[in-house]
Structure 1
Amino acid sequence: MPEEGSMEELMDLYEESFKRFAEGEVVTGRIISVDKDYVIVDIGYKSEGQIRIHEFVDEHGEISAQTGDKVEVMVEWWDDENEVVVLSKEKAEKVKVWEEIKRAYEADEAIEGVIASRVKGGFSVDIGVNAFLPGSQADLRPVRNLDEMVGKTYHFKVLKFNRKRSNIVLSRRVILEAERESKRAATLASISEGKVVDGVVKNITEYGVFVDLGGVDGLLHITDISWGRVKHPSELFSVGDEITVKILNLDLDRERVSLGMKQLAPDPWTSAAERYPVGSKVTGRVVSLTDYGAFVELEEGIEGLIHVSEMSWTRKVRHPNKIVSVGEEVDAVVLDIKPDNRRISLGMKQAVPNPWDVISDKYPVGTTIEGKIKNITDFGLFIGIDEGIDGLVHISDLSWTKRIKHPSELYKKGDTVQAIVLEIDKDNERFSLGVKQLQADPWDTVAERYEVGKEIAGNVTNVTDFGVFVELEEGIEGLVHVSEISREKIKTPVGMFNVGDELRARVMNINSDERRIGLSIKRLEMESDQEYLSDYVSNMGPATSSFGELLRENLQEKLNED
């Protein structure tokens, strides 16, 4: 006979074998077999339960069920006819998920999920079941690129849920806000003015950078970023950059924090006078151009100005962009430095020799040079000599004899001409040249060609009230004064002669220094009359009466007077 205790146990087992699980109940069973359609599970009931095989197929198409494995299942319904219990592993998992959602909601705890996709108004999140994350609850600030969040795993708080409607609303923002508040309190308790801290660039504006110090935002103003020039903070920072800053000012009541980065290094101007003494040669990068000069960065925080007047020894610079460009490296000399005013005056031309210091040695007076005409003006020609140095041929030095109204009558820009160096004025930076000096001055020998008393022939070139100009040869003119035109008194020769008329005259005087030749028509005519009278008298026979003697004497007196 079995003992009383063992009989009770047998009765319990017997009753348990007939126990019927409620539909929808989740129980734990053991896999006893796997075929192509079903997985058979022993849940401690008189009949085995079965689960469709597809519930055990993983994402790679492999069947994950193994005989002997324990598995949680939900009783879906009882098939009394076939004496089979229909089970579901997937529904059991969902039941567990809903239980976890309820537990997390009631305990105000976070649950983990993966953002599956974007939907209208927010995201669909997989937390074992589909849940909805409103866009406003995705982050502390509006998300610019929503697609970046898809596929990422986050922690969420359950704002509300309804199992019957399968409706779950999540929030990530409340978790971030709590974290930020915790960090903010810790940060405010730990920071102080003058302290050096690390932060993350949160936002960038034209006037500065907002830095997250750990729940507390500080402003790094553009003027406190660098001792040097900063056009826009975005040139140096990107959102998300980790940077080190110094706390300049802290207002706990208003929770305002002013930050500085340049203050982490000494002000370079404090020792600038020692590094850049007057007269020293420096190299820098052009960072800005203005109408009056170029600003050159010698080092971070140290900029010097090259005034337009200090850019070239020889060129008149109207704008710095004719000489330099932004980003270009230039050599210069320190002309003046005022650290208190944070100013350095630089000179580019002083870094190279002044060409006017050596030009007179290279081209002494009397040297014949050859160059191209760079410019033509009313008063002469500018000829390129050396880099930046032009020589001037004044209009008066183009020809000894030609009357030139404008140099363009003889030359055009780009012509190559020869000239002689006449004078170099270094102080006034003037280089005088002459073209006519390449040949001898025809007036030097005019007295030899037109000696006084010589009869000449020429054409009238001009008629004025005071006389008539006559061309003796190209460029050489003589003047017949109104008083030397005729023995008769003439008020003006205008109307008596025309330009181009040919006439003859006698050379009366020559002044080579003043380039003047005096001519006379009257003297030539008087000499012709004397010759006529002289011939007439000499051809007369002996006097036959006292009247004849008287006539001869009168004619002789007349000849003597003339």
Structure 2
Amino acid sequence: MDKSSKNEQTTEEPMDEAQQAHSNESETEESQTIEESVAPGEDNGESSLPTEPVEEDQPNEEKSPDEGDTPQQESAETKQVTEQTAAVTDEESSATDLDTESMTDMDALYSDSLKAFDEGEIVVGHIVNVTSDEVMVDIGFKSEGYVPIHEFKTDEKGNSNLNVGDQVEVYIVRHEDADGQLVLSKQYAEEQKLWDSLANAEQSGEVVEGKITERIKGGMRVEVGALKAFLPASQIELHPIRNWDDYINQTYPMKIVKLDKRKRNIVVSRRSLLEEELSTRKAELLSNIKEGELIKGTVKNITEFGAFIDLNGIDGLLHKSDMSWRKIHNPSEVVSIDEEIEAFVINVDLESERISLGLKQKTTDPWESVFDKYPIGSTVKGQVVNIVSYGVFIELEEGVEGLIHISEISWTQRNVAPSKIVMKDQELEARVIDIDTEKKRISLSYKQLVPNPWELLDVKYPFGTKVTGTVKNVTNFGAFIEIEEGIDGLVHSSDFSWLKRNVNPRSILSEGQEVEAVVQKIDPQEQRISLSIKHVEPNPWNLVSTKYAVGSIASGEIVNLTEFGAFARLEEGIEGLIHISELSEERINKPDDVVSKGDVLDLKVIELKMDEQRIGLSLKQAVADREREVVEQYEPKPKQAVTKPKREIKKPNVEEAEETTSFGAALRNVLDFRSEEE
């Protein structure tokens, strides 16, 4: 094959690496064959073609005339010799032309053999020698190339297991190094082929195998053949990774998502393959799954509201309300991560690709037989599973709980925290008082197991009974007194004193103090007892009607002045009101125009309301009565035997009457009457 034909072939049809290697081998063998055929010519500088020897001198006896040679014979021989000489000359000339042509072809082929190999090309060669440091490879170039021994794989003992004659693909690094040797690399050849294959995989979407070697910032380091690649954390799994170490030294199929040979940057993804696989499995599962059937899966994740179950390609939600017939506070109480379970398919939503699962649906609802097991009025036993501010929950069986409301815990202890009476996990007996199957509620009572002590209080403490108790609490409106354990009575602020109003209970009683009180009222239904401290002593107002009868004169001290009058204290706790109109005969604007605080006056009782504990007093009427008494002292007593004509008492005119007081007018009349008698 000459140079032109070879170039034409290269232009018309590109050859792959194997065809190129085969062509190189053919050209190498052809070149070696030509070199062997022209080698002697190169050494002697003469043609290698064979030539016949030429006889220059003939023996004398052959040329002597004695042998009978004639001139014609000599002339024929001379002609023959001349022809032979000319033939030899032609042959030598022809051989010289052939030698020149062979050398030209050899140079052309030799040059072609050098041009066939470019730096950066991958070619196939034969191992011609193996040493401890390097491997000599013949690729058909003018000289053999050397490859470092460490670029070849070795066994556990460090042996390369290379043999002379083995074929090997190498990369032409340089035609000549400083020593004029051909520089080859097997590692570069493998990398170059790997880069090419990865580029094809990126374009075609083919899958490559990658081995995760270590964890780095943002993801994982992956080996793809002899090259390093980066696997982002978000592209490892479909779900968050719990244990990164589980992936080290594991080989997974991956896809090339980014490739930059110049920067030697390779980014791979495992998630894309998982998503494709998941999509396939999801479609298959949704087409086959049916509501009401049982399906197996693995607990993938646990949240506050339930657990997600991996159903081999799609996640199903197991809500905590569907885990058990009993109330579940934490889904971890029922399932755990990676646990394999069999669940009941409650609902399948093909549009949103959601599957609802349940565990409790595998068993019968215990509420269907609640009325038969726990009739109203019966006594049941259960375990305290939860204590809240408003009561206690008792588990009667799995899935059936009853509530003991705080009002049903004790007959006597009210407004007390349930945790102070019962403890969690404690076994209790209770009485069933109500069942609501629709809302799945059972109402229980703990206190109804014993008689109600409030129903006996009417008999034990009838009205008016004096009791002794301890002050448990003091408020603005009164005080609570415990008369026996769990039984408290209220003393209202109005029942502290007969005489004092607007009493502050804290100024009279303190917690822990022992006091006497009188039972006023008992309400078993509302569980209330009304007590009174003031009823321990007689009501001083009961004597007021006797001591301060209407029309009587009483001494009182002015203790308070108001716009409408003055209050006078008759005795301790007994006060009366002097209205402003009863302070003087004259019209006054303010009470302090007539009286002052601290004044002690004789006052007339003009009004008495026992039910309202009110006494009405009058100063002006008391003064009028006193003046009348004085006048009566000076009036003569009439004689029964002597009858005398009546004399009219001179009445003062209107002007004089206005100038004098009633006392003065009376005194004048008396004096005038006496002067007339004399």
TM-score past 0.5 threshold: yes
User: Which of 398, 408, 411 pairs up with 2:504?
Assistant: 408
What code does the residue aligned with 2:466 have?
G
Q: Read off the aligned partner of 2:516 and give its amino acid letter.
A: A
Cα displacement (A) at 1:155: 0.7
1:465-499 Cα offsets, whole Å, 9 max, x none, are: xxx9986643468999xxxxxxxxxxx96437968
- Whichever structure has more strand as a proportion of its residues is 1
Q: Cα gap change, 1:41/1:386 in structure 2, threshold over 3 Å: closer, same or farther? A: farther
Change (3 A) 1:500 1:64: same
3-state secondary structure, aligned to 1:367: strand
Question: Equivalent residues in 2 for 1:366-515 (5 A)?
Answer: 366-377=466-477, 381-383=479-481, 389-394=487-492, 397-400=495-498, 402=499, 404-408=500-504, 411=507, 414=510, 416=513, 418-423=515-520, 425-427=522-524, 428-439=526-537, 458-459=555-556, 473-475=571-573, 494-495=583-584, 502=600
| SS of 1:376 mapped into structure 2 | coil
Q: Does 1:155 find its partner at 2:244?
A: no
CA-to-partner distance for each residue in 1:284-338, whole Å, 9 max, x for gaps? Answer: 444888xxx6684736643545556546646776xx9x7679x984966432123
Q: 1:259 aligns with which of 354, 357, 362?
A: 357
Unaligned runs of 5+ in 2: 1-28, 37-112, 586-593, 644-678
Decide whether aligned partners of structure 1 residues 43 and 419 sit closer, same or farther in structure 2, where only a CA change above 3 A counts.
Answer: same
Matches within 5 A, 1:155-194: 155-157=253-255, 172=270, 175-176=273-274, 179-180=277-278, 183-184=281-282, 187=285, 191-194=289-292
Q: Are the structure 2 counterparts of residues 271 and 506 from structure 1 closer, same or farther at C-alpha, using a change threshold of 3 Å?
A: closer
CA distance in 2, matches of 1:171, 1:153: 13
Deviation digits for residues 403-456 of structure 1 (CA, Å, limit 9, x no counterpart): x22122883674646222424625243323332354566689999x9899xx99
Match of 1:483 in 2: none
How far is 1:129 from its partner? 4.9
The amino acid across from 2:584 in the alignment is G
Amino acid at match of 2:470: E
| TM-score, length of structure 1 as denominator length | 0.58
Contact 1:335 1:347 in 2 (8 A): yes
CA change 1:181–1:363 in 2 (3 A) is same
Match of 1:114 in 2: 211
Distance 2:248 2:237 in 1: 17
Partner secondary structure for residue 407 of structure 1? coil
The amino acid across from 2:253 in the alignment is: H
Residues 1:247 and 2:350 aligned together:
no
Q: 1:281 to 1:523 in 2, by over 3 A?
A: farther
Q: How does 1:13-24 map to 2 (within 5 A)?
A: 24=122
Letter matched to residue 376 of structure 1: N
Cα pair 1:246 1:260 within 8 Å, conserved: yes
Code of the aligned partner of 2:440? R
- Taking a change above 3 Å as real, the CA distance of residues 215 and 495 of structure 1, as seen in their structure-2 partners, is same
1:113 Cα offset (Å): 0.9
SS in 2 for 1:25: strand
In 2, Cα distance between the equivalents of 1:181 and 1:457? 108
Contact 1:133 1:170 in 2 (8 A): yes
Calculate the TM-score normalised by the size of structure 2: 0.50
Alignment of 1:28-39 (within 5 A): 29=127, 32-34=130-132, 39=133
Structure 1 contact 183–214 (Cα < 8 Å) conserved: yes
SS at match of 2:208: strand
Classify 1:389/1:241 alpha carbon distance in 2 versus 1 (closer, same or farther; 3 Å).
same
Structure 1 residue aligned with 2:135: 41
In the alignment, structure 1 residue 227 sits paired with structure 2 residue 227: no
CA distance, structure 2, for counterparts of residue 160 and residue 518 of structure 1: 108
Distance change >3 Å, CA 413–CA 285, structure 1 → 2: farther
Alpha-carbon distance in 1 for matches of 2:615, 2:122: 140
Q: Percent identity?
A: 36
Cα pair 2:136 2:147 within 8 Å, conserved:
no
Gap regions ≥5 residues in structure 1? 1-11, 481-491, 538-546, 552-562
Instruction: Output the amino acid matched with 2:468.
Output: T
TM-superposition CA deviations, 1:247-301 (whole Å, max 9, x none)? 2456889977543232123323123345544343544444888xxx668473664
Please point out which of 342, 346, 359 is paired with 2:444.
346
- Structure scoring higher RCO (CA < 8 A, sep ≥ 6) equals 1
- Give the stretch that moved more between structures: 245-254 or 514-523: 514-523
Instruction: Measure, in 2, the Cα distance between the counterparts of 1:412 and 1:220.
Output: 64
Is residue 127–residue 138 contact of structure 2 (8 Å, CA) maintained in 1? yes
CA change 1:406–1:30 in 2 (3 A) is: farther
- Structure whose residues are more often helix by fraction: 2
1:373 and 1:384 in contact (8 A); partners too: no
Aligned with residue 94 of structure 1, among 181, 191, 212: 191
Instruction: Tell me if the contact between 1:334 and 1:345 (Cα under 8 Å) persists in the aligned partners.
Output: yes
- The residue aligned with 1:335 is 433
The verdict on how the C-alpha distance between 1:374 and 1:28 changes in structure 2, with shifts beyond 3 A counting, is farther
Distance 2:222 2:159 in 1: 31
Aligned twin of 2:297: 199
C-alpha spacing 1:27/1:196, structure 2 compared with 1 (3 Å): farther
Shift of residue 358, structure 1, vs aligned partner: 7.1
Say if 1:282 and 1:333, in contact at 8 Å, map to a contact too. Answer: no
1:91-142 Cα offsets, whole Å, 9 max, x none, are 2443564687699899997431136799999998531254878979947869
Looking at CA atoms only, which structure, 1 or 2, has the larger radius of gyration?
A: 2
State the match for 2:94 in structure 1.
none
Q: What secondary structure is seen at the aligned counterpart in 1 of 2:507?
A: coil
> Residues 159-181 of structure 1: CA distance to partner in whole angstroms, max 9, x if unpaired?
89999998978664564355446
For residue 488 of structure 1, what is the aligned residue in structure 2?
A: none
Amino acid at match of 1:411: S
**Any idea what SS the aligned residue of 2:433 has?**
strand
CA RMSD of aligned residues (A): 6.7
* Secondary structure of the structure 1 residue equivalent to 2:454: helix
